[in-house]
Structure 1
Amino acid sequence: MTFRLAALALAAAALLLVQPVQAQKAESADFVVALVNSEPITNSEVRAAIQRVTAQIKASGQPLPAVDEIRQGVLERLISDRAQLQLATETGVRIDDAAVDMAEQNLARQNQMDVDGLRKRMRKDGIQPDELRKQLRDQLTLTRLREREVDARVRISDQDVDRALAEQQAANTDPFAQEINLAQLLVAVPEKADANLTSQLQAQAQALLVRLRSGEDFAALVKQYSDADRSKAGEFGLRRADRYPPSFVQATQKVAVGAVSELVRSGAGFHILKVLERRAPSALAKSVQQTRARHILLRTSPELSAFAASAKLAALRQSIVSGKTDFAAAARDNSQDGSAAQGGDLGWANPGMFVPEFEEVMNQLKEGEISQPTVTRFGVHLIQLTDRRKVELSVREVREQVRNQLREARLDEAFASWARDVRERAYVELREPPQ
């Protein structure tokens, strides 16, 4: 299941709800600006949405578009969302109260307050709790509908992955990611050589370079003059460029296969390098920062609300932080997750393996730090970060990463196409303001 759309929808809901913007109440002069399948969109709805969007744009530091442009974009978004919500109702998409409770808890956590504090803040901004919950329910409904309708349209084949890898590999011009085989002829410079001796040895190396460029055999001159290993005619063997000294890679970066470099000065002396072979990366070597965490999960239910679960975990957290309780023992005794038997240990995880609301909190933790109670669609968690490491991905993991990247890109395209289709199927009547 793809959670990208869910994260975007909930993030959008949060942005719309937490900006310090006074909600527009219906006035006596309010009027209908559009009908979507006979359901009205009022001028007050458009004005409130314009105010929210304007506040968001200002907060982001971006220049404000013209007022008419903002109004047109807002009205189109309201029409599109209304048509999708109607489709959700027709096709049986339902969001239960527990899911709305969880979304409300999550929104409160994002704003570093409890639900009561969030509701007080919303009332101050003119949004009543029922209105807040309706907006959250609508956002969850849209997310559920989009996941069901759009995800099914996106399929990534092995051939798609092969093509993407080939394109990435062809575009990879990093010289240190290539494989190269160099051979060297070294004119050594003693550690305590004075300037005069160093100059003489440099002249000797330069003379050898001239002879090589006039056509003399590299292997023969190595055997006769090189102060380095002369076996295999000074050849290092094919290896990734990052296993050579950076000065060698830089000196040979633009040297054709079969040609020799300019003199390269190192602590050992003066090197002449011949490029014997150069290959593009045989595989895309990618590294990723993995995270290891453990958690305690309490699943919400009619018997255990998100608020009660958060209170219980807050008390557990205090006991763990004070040293009275061990995290692993608390997980074994309390967690309602399959990881409980392992003390809540979730093992090493790549980015994107957890749902966004969990991963966002986890990524902000320092090693050993324990989060505040965190609400996700699975329940309420205490999260402790135990370790981080950087590892190189296997071929299978690289392919899976590329598959996910392709899927994300195609999801955006598929969603845009689907949203246009839903909008076009809806009956929309735009109305002029009353005179």
Structure 2
Amino acid sequence: MTDIARLRPLPALLCGLALFALNSVSAQSLRLSSELERAGSTQPSVATRTVDYIVALVNSDPVTNSEVRQRLLRVEQQYAQRGVALPPREELARLVLEQLVAERAQQQEANELGLRVDEASLAQAEQAIAAQNQLTPEEFRRRVAAEGLDINRMRNELRGQILLQRVREREVELRVKVNESEIDAFIREQGANNPDSLELSLAHVLVQVPDSASAARISELQARAQSVADRARAGGDFAALAREFSDAPEGATGGEFGWRPIARLPDLFVEATRSLVAGGIAGPLRSEAGFHVLKLIDRRQAGSSPEFTVTQTRARHILLRTGPQLSQADAVARLNRYRQQVASGQGRFEELAREHSQDGSASQGGDLGWSVPGQFVPEFEEVMDRLQPGEMSQPLVSRFGVHLIRVDERRDTAMNEREQREVARARLRDQKAQAVLLNWSQDVRARAFVEYREDPRP
């Protein structure tokens, strides 16, 4: 097995959390979260930059105003890049504070369970973020320092995010079970109705119902949800209603989920919106979490094949490992020369790979065989997936060294029975995990003693 297939990343942490807005940023334009990112030409005053105070205590553990500010700046930066409108800054600051409170309570839960993040795991996470930005770990640290951020504080936050990921994975592992009969039913439905071909774009308002709520309180919350549904049906701005009333995380951005296959949506939502036209409102709907009001923004068919299929890629690469004998800059320069030789017809990729590549695939001319999504580390796979057959990449930095990639072929292949069952298991588990994590996070938050001291000043 080639080395790039051996080390798996922290997928949800590094892809989903987008720590420090690094994952989708190139090495040339890397920008970490700093106040100057948002402020542009307007410099904040010294007092604004340096003031700090406790805004909340979570079981005696403080959350500070500076933590709220840093998270707020990252949220604003990420959503600005996506062109998503945000609520007023003061309102967003309160939502960010609630997110930090919930995370702090979950981290405390992880500590009580004895979960820890060792230095090796932390170093691996740092290395993965650096590699996704085509930086060495040393260059990554220098760039962090150049942006005016404290490396130890950055590492502490990264450690906290890894801890959150581990405790959430533990809760899913303990509570989510998928049996063989569920997998059989999923595959039958996939073959008959092709549920993956139908995608829905929904917006959502959740009025949360605490587990300990009395009948009178439940009735009051149901009335609130009914009021939201009535106002939405009367033509009210659903995004504004979501920001005002929703207890779900996506409420801060208007309640929209984005496009999702119906296999990744709760059955309750799919059934309630089945007969709606675009713009229609469903609800209130009752679930274990509370009362839901849904808006169907649109639906579409994403494909027409009734089979489980996977896109396979056949690629070759040349790997040069960096170290005391070969710097990253020299490796990039050398691979650029090989690339020019192949492009000009003065050399063959296969021969250059056999002669120079430091990967196990060198003896096969760099041939990696047919690969499936997820087989290689993400920084390699993302570049490979953008290449057309016959196309070569620019030199790519990964955690293993510097690569030159060429894609030879690509094909769509029906999955075998084992692969189909693994996909079905993962999708069913994903459906159940969303509800489990929502209920668990609400339970952890409800058990935490939270004392609010002062409003955050963003």
TM-score, normalised with respect to structure 2: 0.56
Q: 1:92 to 1:73 in 2, by over 3 A?
A: same
Q: 1:117 to 1:357 in 2, by over 3 A?
A: closer
SS of alignment partner, residue 65 of structure 1:
coil
Pick aligned residue for 1:416 from 426, 438, 456: 438
Alignment: residue pair count: 315
Code of the residue aligned with 2:155 in structure 1: it is R
2:403 matched residue in structure 1 = 382
Q: Is the 8 A contact 2:172 2:433 kept in 1?
A: yes
1:369 matched residue in structure 2 = 392
Pick aligned residue for 1:76 from 95, 98, 103: 98
How far does residue 14 in structure 1 lie from its aligned partner after superposition? Answer: 3.0
What is the CA–CA distance in structure 1 between the aligned matches of 2:73 and 2:58, rounded to whole Å? 22
What is the CA–CA distance in structure 1 between the aligned matches of 2:184 and 2:412, rounded to whole Å? 25
How far does residue 129 in structure 1 lie from its aligned partner after superposition? Answer: 3.0
2:369 matched residue in structure 1 = 347
Code of the residue aligned with 2:439 in structure 1: it is S
SS of alignment partner, residue 315 of structure 2:
strand
Q: 1:340 to 1:173 in 2, by over 3 A?
A: closer
Q: 1:48 to 1:349 in 2, by over 3 A?
A: same
What is the CA–CA distance in structure 2 between the aligned matches of 1:50 and 1:61, rounded to whole Å? 16
1:55 matched residue in structure 2 = 77
Code of the residue aligned with 1:6 in structure 2: it is L
Q: 1:11 to 1:343 in 2, by over 3 A?
A: farther
Q: Is the 8 A contact 1:109 1:374 kept in 2?
A: yes
Post-superposition CA distance 1:192-225 (Å, at most 9, x none): xxxxxxxxxxxxxxxxxxxxxxxxxxxxxxxxxx
1:321 aligns with 2:328: no
Q: Is the 8 A contact 1:84 1:422 kept in 2?
A: yes
What is the CA–CA distance in structure 2 between the aligned matches of 1:298 and 1:88, rounded to whole Å? 40
1:21 aligns with 2:34: yes
Q: Is the 8 A contact 1:288 1:390 kept in 2?
A: yes
Code of the residue aligned with 1:133 in structure 2: it is R
What is the CA–CA distance in structure 1 between the aligned matches of 2:375 and 2:126, rounded to whole Å? 24
Code of the residue aligned with 1:30 in structure 2: it is D
Pick aligned residue for 2:420 from 390, 395, 398: 398
Identical aligned pairs, as a percentage? 38
TM-score, normalised with respect to structure 1: 0.59
Q: Is the 8 A contact 1:36 1:82 kept in 2?
A: yes
What is the CA–CA distance in structure 2 between the aligned matches of 1:106 and 1:34, rounded to whole Å? 33
Which of structures 1 and 2 has the bigger CA Rg? Answer: 1
How far does residue 33 in structure 1 lie from its aligned partner after superposition? Answer: 0.9
What is the CA–CA distance in structure 1 between the aligned matches of 2:12 and 2:50, rounded to whole Å? 38
Q: Is the 8 A contact 1:373 1:382 kept in 2?
A: yes
* Structure 2: gaps (5+ residues): 1-7, 24-29, 37-43, 197-304, 342-346
Post-superposition CA distance 1:257-289 (Å, at most 9, x none): xxxxxxxxxxxxxxxxxxxxxxxxxx9324332
SS of alignment partner, residue 317 of structure 1:
helix
1:140 aligns with 2:147: no
Q: 1:67 to 1:370 in 2, by over 3 A?
A: closer
Q: Is the 8 A contact 2:56 2:452 kept in 1?
A: yes
Q: How does 1:256-335 map to 2 (within 5 A)?
A: 284-295=306-317, 310=328, 314=332, 317-318=335-336, 320-321=338-339, 323=341, 326-331=352-357, 334-335=358-359
2:52 matched residue in structure 1 = 30
Code of the residue aligned with 2:13 in structure 1: it is A
Code of the residue aligned with 1:96 in structure 2: it is E
What is the CA–CA distance in structure 2 between the aligned matches of 1:173 and 1:36, rounded to whole Å? 43
Post-superposition CA distance 1:31-72 (Å, at most 9, x none): 211112322111122122222212322222122123343123
Q: Is the 8 A contact 1:30 1:43 kept in 2?
A: yes
Post-superposition CA distance 1:153-194 (Å, at most 9, x none): 4333221122223333443599xxxxxxxxxxxxxxxxxxxx
Q: 1:37 to 1:67 in 2, by over 3 A?
A: same
Q: 1:123 to 1:28 in 2, by over 3 A?
A: closer
* Structure 1: gaps (5+ residues): 175-282
